[in-house]
C-alpha cells in the first residue's frame, strides 16, 4: 500500500475493462494530486510495453506527466499481482532512458519491471522527497549498462525506502544529481534479494553520490559467484567530503571503482546493528 496507508483516488489500467489501457494516459489524466489527495494508478494483469522518444532521457513512463511541464506529484503505481503485472521496455535508445521516471513523492509496489538496457526506475528529485518501492521485481538481461534497477539523483534530506524487492541482474545506485543542501540522503533497505552474474555490478553503487549518505540495510541477501550472500557489495564514493555511513546486520564487502585502489573504505563508516 502507499505510505499514506490508503490508495487515495484510484485510476485503473487494464488490458480490458479498466479506465485506461495505457499507463501514461492514466498518469496524464491526474491533474489535482496533492499530499492530502494522492492518486494510485492500479495496474491489472498483463504485459505493458512502453516506448519513449529518441532522446537520451526519453523515459517510457513519466509519473510527473508527459504533457506540458511534467509537474505532477503524489501519484503512486501499484499492481494487483507482482508476477502477473509486468511493465517492459525493450531496446531503449540509451542507458539513461528509464522505464519509469518517478515523481518526487512516489510509491511503487507489487509488480515487475523488465528492461534490457536502461534504468528501471529513475528518481531525480528535489529536497524533501520520498521514494518507497515495496514488493517490486527489477529484472534485467544483464547487458552492459542495463542493470539500472533503482537509480536516484536525490538531494540531502530525501528518503529512499526499498522493502521486499528482488533485483535480478540489477543494482541500486545513487549517481548524484541536483545540488547539495547540507542534509543527509537516507537509504533504507529491508527484506530484499540481489541476484547478479558476471555481467552486473552487485548491490549498491554510491561512488558518485553528491551528498553524505546513510545506508540502513537489514534482512537482505546478496547472491554472486564471487561474494558470499552474507556480504554487501558496494561501490563507495571516492570524494572524502561525501561520507557514507552504513548501518547493517550484515558483514560488508566493499568494491572500489578501480580494482586495487588501496583505500577501500575512503571516508566511510561501517556500523553493525
Residue range 237-263, pLDDT digits in tens: 666 666 677 777 765 444 434 444 433
Amino acid 268: pLDDT? 43
Q: What is the mean pLDDT of the chain?
A: 74
- SS3 label, residue 28: helix
| pLDDT, greater one: 14 or 268 | 14
User: How far apart are the two ends of the chain, measured CA to CA in Å?
Assistant: 28
Instruction: Tell me the mean pLDDT in the region 87-102.
Output: 76
Lowest-confidence pick of 20-29, 85-94, 160-169: 85-94
Q: Is the pLDDT of residue 93 over 50?
A: yes
Amino acid 19: pLDDT? 97
> Cβ atoms within 10 A of the Cβ of 216, count?
17
Reported residue count of the chain is 273
Lowest-confidence pick of 68-82, 103-117, 153-167, 246-260: 246-260
Q: Is the pLDDT of residue 270 over 90?
A: no
Looking at the chain, the whole-number percentage of residues with pLDDT higher than 70 is 61
Amino acid at each position: 500500500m502507499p505510505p499514506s496507508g490508503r490508495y487515495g483516488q484510484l485510476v485503473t489500467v487494464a488490458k480490458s475493462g479498466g479506465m485506461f489501457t495505457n499507463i501514461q494516459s492514466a498518469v496524464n489524466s491526474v491533474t489535482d494530486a496533492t499530499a492530502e489527495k494522492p492518486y494510485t494508478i492500479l495496474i491489472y494483469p498483463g504485459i505493458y510495453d512502453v516506448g519513449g522518444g529518441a532522446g537520451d532521457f526519453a523515459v517510457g513512463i513519466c509519473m510527473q506527466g508527459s504533457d506540458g511541464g511534467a509537474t505532477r506529484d503524489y501519484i503512486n503505481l501499484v499492481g494487483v499481482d507482482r508476477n502477473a503485472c509486468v511493465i517492459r521496455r525493450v531496446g531503449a535508445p540509451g542507458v539513461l532512458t528509464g522505464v519509469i521516471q518517478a515523481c518526487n513523492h512516489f510509491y511503487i509496489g507489487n509488480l515487475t519491471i523488465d528492461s534490457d538496457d536502461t534504468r528501471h526506475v529513475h528518481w531525480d528529485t528535489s529536497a524533501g522527497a520520498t521514494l518507497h518501492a515495496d514488493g517490486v521485481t527489477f529484472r534485467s538481461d544483464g547487458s552492459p549498462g542495463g542493470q539500472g534497477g533503482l537509480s536516484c539523483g536525490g538531494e540531502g534530506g530525501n528518503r529512499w525506502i526499498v522493502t521486499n524487492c528482488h533485483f535480478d541482474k540489477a543494482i541500486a545506485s545513487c549517481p548524484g544529481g541536483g545540488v547539495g543542501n547540507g542534509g543527509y540522503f537516507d537509504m533504507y533497505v529491508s527484506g530484499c534479494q540481489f541476484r547478479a552474474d558476471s555481467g552486473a555490478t552487485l548491490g549498491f553503487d554510491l561512488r558518485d553520490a553528491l551528498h553524505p549518505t546513510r545506508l540502513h540495510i537489514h534482512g537482505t541477501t546478496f547472491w554472486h559467484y564471487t561474494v558470499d550472500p552474507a556480504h554487501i557489495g558496494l561501490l563507495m564514493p571516492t570524494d572524502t567530503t561525501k561520507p557514507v555511513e552504513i548501518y547493517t546486520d550484515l558483514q560488508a564487502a566493499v568494491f572500489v571503482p578501480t580494482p586495487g585502489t588501496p583505500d577501500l573504505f575512503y571516508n566511510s563508516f561501517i556500523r553493525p546493528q
